């Protein structure tokens, strides 16, 4: 029987565009540390808290106590972008700020293409 904790971690990993192994490496966990929860091994309280902080969700959600829809934090999404994507996002944000707050966008920036 599969574990709700493992399913929630897997769901969140997929939303982040990461594999379970990538998350294990980023958090400094031993290989297969998260896979071991697939068939019912119970995580320690510190692991639940660590993963809930990583995914920006509540520990209750990871344990299956809450069914609240999950939003991935912008920090996690940004961290997964390539350097080129980060630069592109920075340019888009800059242009948006100019347009939104200062009502000005340089004509040569091609903002209409976005």
Count of CB atoms situated within 10 Å of the CB of 34: 23
Angle at 81 between CA 33 and CA 99, to 5 degrees: 145
> Exposed, middle or buried: residue 54 (CB in 10 Å: 0-12, 13-18, 19+)?
middle
**Does 1 score more than 50 pLDDT?**
no
Q: What value does the mean pLDDT of the chain take?
A: 83
pLDDT tens for 36-71 read 898 878 899 999 999 999 988 888 889 888 766 556
* Cα gap 85→81, rounded to integer Å: 6
Q: What is the mean pLDDT of residues 16-24?
A: 92
Which residues have CB under 8 Å from 102's CB, separation 6+? Answer: none
- Answer yes or no: is pLDDT of 6 > 80: yes
The pTM score is: 0.60
């Amino acid at each position: 029987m599969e574990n709700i904790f493992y399913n929630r971690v897997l769901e969140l990993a997929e939303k982040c565009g990461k594999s379970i192994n990538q998350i294990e490496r980023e958090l400094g966990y031993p290989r297969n540390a998260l896979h071991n929860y697939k068939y019912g091994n119970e995580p320690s309280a510190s692991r639940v808290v660590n993963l809930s902080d990583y995914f920006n969700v509540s520990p209750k959600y990871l344990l299956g106590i809450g069914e609240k829809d999950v939003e991935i934090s912008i920090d996690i999404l940004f961290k997964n972008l390539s350097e080129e994507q980060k630069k592109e996002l920075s340019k888009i944000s800059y242009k948006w700020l100019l347009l939104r707050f200062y009502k000005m966008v340089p004509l040569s920036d091609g903002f209409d293409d976005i």
